[in-house]
Amino acid sequence: MSLLRKILYPFAVLYGEVTATRNTFYNKGILKSTAFEIPTIVVGNLSVGGTGKTPQVEYLIRLLQSTYKVAVLSRGYKRNTKGFIIASDTTTVAEIGDEPMQYHTKFKDVIVAVDADRVHGISQLSKLKNTPDVIVLDDAYQHRKVAAGLNILLTSYNNLYVDDTLLPTGNLREKIKGADRAQIIVVTKCPETLSEAQQFEITKKLQVALHQTVFFSTIKYSEEIIGKKNKLPTTTLSNFKVVLVTGIANTEPLVTFLENLSCNFHHLQFADHHNFTQKDFQKINEAYSAIKTDKKLILTTEKDYVRSFKERDNVYYLPIETDFIEHKEDFNKLIKKYVEQSSRNS
């Protein structure tokens, strides 16, 4: 922990009390939570970024889209618009944000919408002629105005919420007790070799309640990197010199993956959801031009590619997916059972 974060500890205590009081007011009904007839699934975390919400949301979309009309509702972080917007063929990243645009680009039959006020957003989706059967709320765990039917809480293997502290000393948005609201906890970005004994120890450390089920997931990297005009097998990356450009919260899994491929890369790391400026592009171009071989390329994440690089010929992205180490079918059954029962009762 840095000296500055230690100095800010009193503010973390104050922040914790404020958020705890707010949660108490919601738990006791002093502040109102709105429930909806449409099944609503929240995907979120206790910490600030880096837990793998986007691939988890995409996993849910793939799981449900063949049976149900799925909508994804996000706040549209760092967009330059306000209010409720549904993505269309003419929608830009600036209007809805990078993650919603990624969903919209990949899943054409899914309704993708943004609204900072999730209650208003769900109400608007409910009024559509083609009403969704299920709504996935991206990064809405702290949005207590919505009484979601199912809460999925993510925590990263390398930074469990029980090992973290409150903002601004740590990265937690609320006290650890907030985890009690989740019915499902997914420990993300785990090593594929994580044993059952290790899973048991982590589950015990999380002190899960009887109403909660814990799953362990890993990052599944694509076998291809994808560019504007072509694709390349990831196994050929060792033949190239690469400028790696990232604007995500946690780059460690990606860096480790590339190192295991013996990829020779120069890493230009930016903040999560970074809006690239002309100065940034100049820096990237200079790093690319400094490589004295024709066997070179720029590699980035899918989120960064959608936001800033999709029109460039020499830039590729590496798709990722969530995969479960064990008990994948149990997770799928829990999700499908909730949606089926909620749909039947609505």
Same domain for 303 and 332, yes or no, is no
- Per-residue pLDDT at 2: 67
Same domain for 231 and 280, yes or no, is yes
Same domain for 113 and 173, yes or no, is yes
What is the domain extent for residue 161?
A: 3-220+323-345
The Cβ of residue 59 has, within 10 Å, a number of other Cβ atoms equal to 23
Query: What is the edge-to-edge ordering of all strands in the sheet holding 134-138?
Result: 85-86, 111-114, 70-74, 134-138, 40-45, 150-156, 184-188, 213-221, 320-324
- Per-residue pLDDT at 60: 98
Contact 29/188 with Cβ under 8 angstroms? Answer: no
Report the CATH number that the domain containing residue 257 is assigned in CATH. 3.40.50
* Number of domains the chain is built from: 2
Same domain for 239 and 148, yes or no, is no
Same domain for 155 and 255, yes or no, is no
Same domain for 29 and 128, yes or no, is yes
Q: Tell me the DSSP string of 179-247.
A: GGG-SEEEEES--TT--HHHHHHHHHHHT--TT-EEEEEEEEE-SEEEESS-EEEGGGGGGSEEEEEE-
- Per-residue pLDDT at 315: 96
Same domain for 40 and 166, yes or no, is yes
Same domain for 66 and 83, yes or no, is yes
Structure tokens at 169: 């000393």
- Per-residue pLDDT at 6: 74
Place of tokens 């996000």: 74
pLDDT, averaged per 10 consecutive residues of the chain (346 residues), comes to 73 91 96 96 94 97 98 95 97 96 96 98 96 97 97 97 94 96 98 96 97 97 95 96 95 94 96 92 96 96 93 93 96 97 80
- Per-residue pLDDT at 65: 97
DSSP secondary structure code for residue 137 in this structure: E
In three-state secondary structure terms, 135 is strand
Query: What is the edge-to-edge ordering of all strands in the sheet holding 231-233?
Result: 231-233, 224-227, 315-318, 296-301, 241-246, 264-269
CA pair distance 75, 100, nearest whole angstrom: 9
- Per-residue pLDDT at 17: 94
Same domain for 35 and 152, yes or no, is yes
Report the CATH number that the domain containing residue 59 is assigned in CATH. 3.40.50.300
Report the relative pairing of strands 213-221 and 85-86 from DSSP bridges: unpaired
Distance of CA 211 to the CA centre of its chain: 24
CA pair distance 159, 211, nearest whole angstrom: 23
The Cβ of residue 71 has, within 10 Å, a number of other Cβ atoms equal to 26
Long-range contacts of 4-12 (CB under 8 A, 24+ apart): 5/168, 5/169, 5/170, 6/169, 8/168, 8/169, 9/169, 11/168, 11/169, 12/165, 12/166, 12/167, 12/168, 12/169, 12/170
Same domain for 161 and 289, yes or no, is no
